[in-house]
Amino acid sequence: MVNKAIVLALVAFCESIVAFPSIGHDFGHNPHSHPKKRINGILPGFDAAAQKIDVSGAHAFLPPGHSDLRGPSQFVEATNSVFGMGLDLATFLSTYGAVMDGDLTSWSIGGAPGTNLLPGLLSPSGGISNSHNKYETDGSPTRGDLYEYGNDYLVQLSQFKALYAKQANVDNDSANYDLDILNAFRAERIAQSKLNNPYFFSAPVSGIAVQPAAYTFIYRFMANKSAEYPEGILNKEVLKSFFAITGEGNDMTYTPGYERIPQNWYKRAIGDEYTIPFYATDLNLAALQYPQFLEVGGNTGTVNSFMGVDLSNLTEGVFNAENLLEGNNLACFGFQAAIQFTPDLLKGLVGDLTGAVNQLVGALGDTLNVLDCPKLESIDDSQLKQFPGYTKLKADGSY
């Protein structure tokens, strides 16, 4: 049961938030070349006893029952101990989920976390699976765009197969879905969404700060670590296990609810947790290779009609196209935009908007100071009202 709940939590975040690139810095184009230097300059070690995740006994996978309601429990502790997510990142993500898609203190995947609404919560939550462009976003790796498929939480097998095919010419033991592959796939998925989804929208929060996590987290957390490859190898069988996929080729099948940690799987090294500053570095490296990842904007009601907005006008001059990749500005923009958009996103859902904002500010702790962020005082969303992907979602109550 624990195995199942924690995997669902991670996969939900990988697709919603709810993360890209070695660009030659980790493995280059040889999937099994030994990384000479980590992003922070230190190659992580490997301790088999400490890093192996037990999937037996109380932690064994149990198939979902007809009436099961499963979701992440103790998210911060679990993602840290099972996957090596930094406490700073886990705290922010869990708080953001609780504020945006839960009952302000907890959250679930497909619906409200409980039956009793907390004081200050005016409407029931739909969970992070029903949080389009708050957590979940267009252009996910394996989940479809909401207005293209009618749901945003089921694996679209065609998309998984497209990712899987990136290693079509290598066997399982030689395959590695590393950040170079995931970056390139992200660029393809964004282009695909622009071409097929008339309401495609890349929001300041979900598009810039959240959607990247859907890709980066796949490698950073799912790759199987070893003494030979301390950064990890994400081969075909491990990838399929985490996404509840079985079979090959035309016989490939997706079974919702069967996402699971594979046998003989080893997490990130102790002391090498994936923190917000680490994530900020990944954000910059990805955008340097693919500048389109910095776009805020959307289609205007027809397919392939994407228009971007001026970041300087959006942020009242704090951020612009020239300074967004300076220092940690890209991560700073994403995290601060989450705070600035909170009152608007929760209007009509939460009575105590100030309290909700304060929860997010508290969850970031000293992170914004550590990142040395320029202070974003407000966001002018008037430019976003030209995009039906923004106005429609707000009218639907989903954004």
Q: Where in the sequence is the domain holding 91, given as residue range(s)?
A: 2-396
pLDDT tens, position by position, 177-209: 999 999 999 999 999 999 999 999 998 888 888
pLDDT tens, position by position, 55-81: 999 999 988 887 776 655 778 899 999
Q: What percent of the chain has pLDDT over 70?
A: 74
DSSP-H helix ranges across the chain: 2-16, 48-51, 75-83, 87-101, 146-149, 157-164, 179-196, 211-222, 236-242, 276-289, 311-314, 329-346, 353-364, 367-370, 388-396
Q: Which residues contact 162 (CB under 8 A, 6 or more apart)?
A: 185, 188
pLDDT of 38 strictly over 60: no
| CATH number of 269's domain | 1.10.489.10
pLDDT of 128 strictly over 90: no
The domain total for the chain is: 1
pLDDT tens, position by position, 93-124: 888 777 766 666 666 665 555 555 555 554 55
Calculate the CA 79 to chain-centre distance. Answer: 13
Q: Please report the pLDDT score of residue 111 as a whole number.
A: 58
pLDDT tens, position by position, 328-369: 999 999 999 988 877 566 655 666 677 777 788 888 878 899
Output the pTM of the full model: 0.85
For residue 250 the two structure tokens come to 């035309």
